[in-house]
Amino acid sequence: MLNVTERAKAKLKELLQTESDDRSVGLRLGKTASGALGVFPDRERADDQVVEHDGAAVLLVGQEIAEKVEDTTIDYEEGGPGPGLVIKKN
């Protein structure tokens, strides 16, 4: 099961609001052009796992990615090389 901390949900919602005013759009966790995991605006699909925060779908996770991030936690950290979302194994 994928867990998302409250801090990460709040940051995802903030990022989503800067990306789109369309309430039917969420941020999809998926592979970027470089092959790394990232988030990008997208519409919900029938097989998505949806993570909500304050009534908004802040993270969409398709079946293929869900299997790869099973038993992980997504958090938001300020430190390191820069602030950002981190995925940690449970």
Predicted confidence at residue 76, as pLDDT, reads: 94
Predicted confidence at residue 52, as pLDDT, reads: 92
Q: For 55, left (φ over 0), alpha (ψ -120 to 50), or beta?
A: left
Predicted confidence at residue 73, as pLDDT, reads: 96
Q: What pTM, to 2 d.p., does this model score?
A: 0.85
* Per-residue pLDDT tens digits for 10-63: 999 999 988 888 888 999 999 888 888 889 999 999 999 999 988 888 999 999
Predicted confidence at residue 33, as pLDDT, reads: 87
Could you give the angle at the alpha carbon of 42 between the alpha carbons of 38 and 31, nearest 5°?
Answer: 30
